Amino acid sequence: MTARIIDGRAIAAELRARVASRVAGLGFRPGLAVVLVGADPASSVYVRSKNRAATEAGLATESIRLPADTSQAELLAVVARLNADPAVDGILVQLPLPPQISPQAVIEAIDPAKDVDGFHPINVGRLAGGLPSLVPCTPLGIMKLLAAADVPLSGARALVLGRSAIVGKPIAALLLAANATVTIAHSRTRNLADECRRAEVLIAAVGKLEMVRGDWIGKGAAVIDVGVNRRPDNKLGGDVAFAEAAEIAGAITPVPGGVGPMTIACLLENTVTAAERRRRPVPPG
């Protein structure tokens, strides 16, 4: 293996410690409310991890569990209550939601100032416009991994594989803001392997186990593997064939232990950022 392994667990632990010391200096406990509708096992695990990490960082957490048959109106009423609660700085409604609830309606109901997932159209628009915003946690975490690994971005050719609103589009906006030359690839892209090979920074966010093979990687490229997929043996695997890619890449994230831990750490950071902005508004100008 030639690539440096970018250790997301270690980098996330450092970020969580920085968040905890920011919280300790605030003089109040920022509040994070996490809403889970139904009992999807994967979502339940995510929510538990988020609550545990938030408590460890000194945040006040409120965990709201609603039955799977909750109506959209009932969920919107919970969101309205949290929007109005001055002790709540961040609101996260765990996705996916049951079919009777429109995720977009819920996302748009969250106060953009408390939108720690960064999915509200106001935050999406501010990010696209290069304005300060609450940035979605996974793309924010990717930028921090690239920074911690000293990957140069200015002028670099970056390829984002995947164009979802949660990962692909926001990471493309962040890379562009960092002066990379960004290409976004997706299921209709021709010659995907060639596009990937040209990239100096490759972000894989497709959700297809080991779709990106070693011979798709440019020599020395930085490879960030966002994918979380189940292997036939039920273990987790990424979108990149790790062992093959690590022979050619300059730096690479593993799955698990790469992007995943950063997502939760960035949720904590976003909650503290939201708390600081809401409770200590910066005067205009």
Please identify which residue in 207, 214, 236, 277 interacts with ligand NDP, judged by CB under 6 A: 207
Pair of tokens at residue 231: 């292997």
Nearest to 73 by CA among 101, 94, 92: 101
Task: Tell whether residue 254 is a contact of ligand NDP (CB under 6 A).
Answer: no
Least spacing, CB of residue 167 vs ligand NDP, in Å: 4
Q: In sequence order, what E strands does 85-221 have?
A: 90-93, 157-161, 181-185, 201-204
Site string for ligand NDP, 169-198 (x = CB under 6 A): -----------------xxxx--x------
Report DSSP state, residue 219.
Answer: T
Task: Tell whether residue 229 is a contact of ligand NDP (CB under 6 A).
Answer: yes
* Sign of CA pseudo-dihedral 108, 110, 115, 117: negative
Q: Is 40 a catalytic residue?
A: no
For ligand NDP, give the closer residue by CB, 35 or 240: 240
Task: Tell whether residue 146 is a contact of ligand NDP (CB under 6 A).
Answer: no
Task: Tell whether residue 162 is a contact of ligand NDP (CB under 6 A).
Answer: yes
Distance CA(70)–CA(36), nearest Å, equals 11
Q: Is 114 a catalytic residue?
A: no
Distance CA(148)–CA(162), nearest Å, equals 23
Distance CA(68)–CA(105), nearest Å, equals 17
Of 16-24, 88-96, 151-159, 220-228, which part binds ligand NDP (CB under 6 A)? 220-228
Q: Applying CB under 6 A, which residues contact ligand NDP?
A: 138, 162-164, 166-168, 186-189, 192, 205-208, 226-229, 259-260, 263
The residues annotated with a catalytic role in the active site are: 50, 94, 117
